[in-house]
């Protein structure tokens, strides 16, 4: 195990996840690209190598206990610890035909969204905790959305997606309380409305701009904030 810091980014094969991976690679971290799609994962690793970033990929389906456990084992064998975990993998869920209108909510859609956006984050975080605890200043960043803000109530009505981000914010605060007397710092980040396939590229805001807050929270000093919700403008109201 060498002194180079190591960061795992889930869903890092494209969009904001890749921008985060690229950004943290520029800071000198070894980057682990966690993704289900083998071809896109390998392509992302090749692009990072071309940018002079030390990187490798791991198969990671956040909805699968076996996949997450196998990824943790691979990371332990290859690098021995994690300094940063960025839980970026997420889905919006099917929305047509009133599937995410609360009055006609498709509970199957909601369950699917929660499985990735909330349960997947818990599954990955808990599997990686032994590796994070070996680091000097471990950081966890959960990629959320201001659509999960109960105060702002932004964006279209997407009852499954927005609720999943509200729950993600809540579980982030619970982790922060559990980590209160440790060196692990966890926060939630809102990248904003970014031009990715997630949004149909319907925004002037770039993935690199969306990655800024995640990179800031991933590299916080030891006296940095804990259990907060931030975008690149500052604190996002709950």
Q: What tokens were used for 22?
A: 């690229």
| Integer Cα distance of 183 and 56 in angstroms | 26
What is the rounded average pLDDT of the residues 177-198? 88
| H-only helix segments in 51-119 | 65-78, 107-114
Residue length of the chain? 238
Residue range 40-90, pLDDT digits in tens: 999 999 999 999 999 999 999 999 999 999 999 999 999 999 999 999 999
5, 14, 29, 161: the active-site residue: 161
0.85 cut: is pTM over it? yes
In this prediction, residue 197 carries a pLDDT of 61
201 pLDDT more than 70: no
5 catalytic? Reply is no
14, 29, 165, 193: the active-site residue: 165
């Amino acid at each position: 195990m060498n002194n180079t810091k190591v960061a795992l980014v889930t869903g890092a094969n494209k969009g904001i996840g890749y921008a985060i991976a690229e950004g943290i690679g520029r800071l000198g971290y070894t980057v682990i690209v966690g993704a289900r799609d083998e071809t896109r994962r390998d392509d992302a690793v090749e692009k990072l190598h071309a940018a002079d970033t030390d990187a490798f990929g791991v198969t990671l389906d956040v909805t699968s206990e076996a996949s997450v456990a196998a990824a943790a084992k691979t990371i332990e064998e290859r690098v021995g610890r994690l300094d940063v975990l960025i839980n970026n993998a997420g889905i919006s869920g099917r929305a047509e035909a009133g599937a995410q209108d609360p009055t006609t909510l498709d509970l199957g859609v909601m369950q699917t969204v929660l499985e990735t956006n909330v349960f997947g984050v818990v599954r990955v975080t808990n599997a990686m905790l032994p590796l994070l605890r070996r680091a000097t200043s471990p950081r966890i960043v959960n990629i959320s959305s201001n659509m999960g803000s109960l105060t702002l109530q932004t964006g279209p009505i997407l009852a499954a997606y927005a609720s999943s981000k509200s729950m993600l914010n809540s579980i982030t605060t619970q982790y922060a309380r559990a980590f209160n007397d440790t060196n692990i710092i966890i926060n939630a980040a809102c990248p904003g409305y970014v031009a990715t396939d997630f949004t149909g590229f319907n925004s002037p805001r770039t993935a690199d701009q969306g990655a800024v807050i995640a990179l800031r929270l991933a590299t916080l000093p030891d006296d940095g904030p804990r259990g907060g919700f931030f975008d690149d403008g500052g604190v996002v109201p709950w």
